[in-house]
Chains A and B, each alone.
Chain A
Amino acid sequence: MDRDGIDDNQIISRVLEGDVDAYEWLLNKYKSIVLNILKKRLPFEQVEETAQVVFIKAYQSLSTYKGTSEFKNWLSSIAVKTCYDFWRKHYRNRELPMSSLSEKHEEWLEQALSDQSNEVLLEKGKEVEAKEILDWALNKLSLEDKMVLELVYLEGFSNKEASNLLGWSVANVKVRSFRSRRKLEKILKDVYQK
């Protein structure tokens, strides 16, 4: 139920009865959630267009929404799957930020790890070098490994939540998340043990 006393399900029923304009209410309410998912996973210039695709897909499959889970979760799942579809088409031709890390990155990582408090580590994560090293490491993984790591390892979703978002089985998410985490650890270990 919204602050204005409007329920998502009421709006969905109206849209299903042919009131297309009512969909704008859902679009307005959930656009920031969708954009938040997309901006982390897609190149900057692709976010707007893909967000449109997500809302069009959601509209077209609105009749399949059962109302058993929150609309937000259902829409998030469409957003994650759309990112996955996007990368399935473009992953081979993706633009790699760097082929290898520079000395500057290695030094930064070494410095970041030297006895830092929790707050300092979180602040370090906001620096450009953190983004560059993370992108570099993630791009060394397969698309599926990258998707599952982003959800479970970086965003802290449970295996069940990740399986709902990706549309995979929980067992598949568990196995893949374990293996991809090991791969990431190895990639990073090689950097800071050089």
Chain B
Amino acid sequence: MEDFNDNHKKIRKIFSSSFREKENFEVGESWQKGTMKKIRNLKPLSSNQRLFVIFEEMCWRFAFAASLVLAITFSFNLEMETQREYEVSQVFYEDPFDEFLDEPLKINR
């Protein structure tokens, strides 16, 4: 095992040296001109884009808090809605005719 570890350190040295030593690569002036030509054909950048990026970042920063508020509001509304429906149906079942319908319809018994 010791021999393996020792060998592995050596192998790492050899391969690191090999990886760094990969052949030199030079590009000519035509490459640079070609790249700039392609870039000039693109739409020029504007500082508005940077503002948009900042705005987008701000939006994401507050996204979690906004979703949380939305979820709480939604569950609160849902709770209120069921409560109201429950109360109405309770009135109806407890006193279906006497008070619930008589009064608004002005029925005199």
Contact = CB atoms under 8 A, between A and B. Distances in A.
Are A and B bound to each other? yes
B29 to A, nearest CB: 10
Max chain A C-beta neighbours (<10 A), residue from B24, B49, B50: B50
Interface residues of A, number: 54
Interface residues of B, number: 38
A27 B36 contact: yes
A113 B15 contact: no
Given A17-B46, A56-B42, A126-B18, A39 B25 contact: yes
Given A27-B36, A52-B31, A55-B39, A16 B17 contact: no
Contacts of B7: 113, 192
A121 interface: yes
Contacts of A47: 25
B107 interface: no
B25 A113 contact: no
A130 B106 CA distance: 102
Decide if the interface of chain A is mainly helix, strand, loop or mixed.
Answer: helix
Contact of A51 (B14, B15, B27): B27
A150 to B, nearest CB: 7
Contacts of B75: none
Nearest to A130: B18
Contact of A28 (B19, B23, B32, B40): B32
Contacts, number: 125
Contact of B22 (A18, A40, A64): A40
Interface stretch (A89-97, A98-106, A152-160, A172-180): A152-160
B17 A121 contact: yes
Contacts of A193: 4
Nearest to A128: B18
Contacts of A150: 19
B20 A124 contact: no
Interface in B1-41: 4, 7-8, 10-27, 31-32, 34-36, 38-40
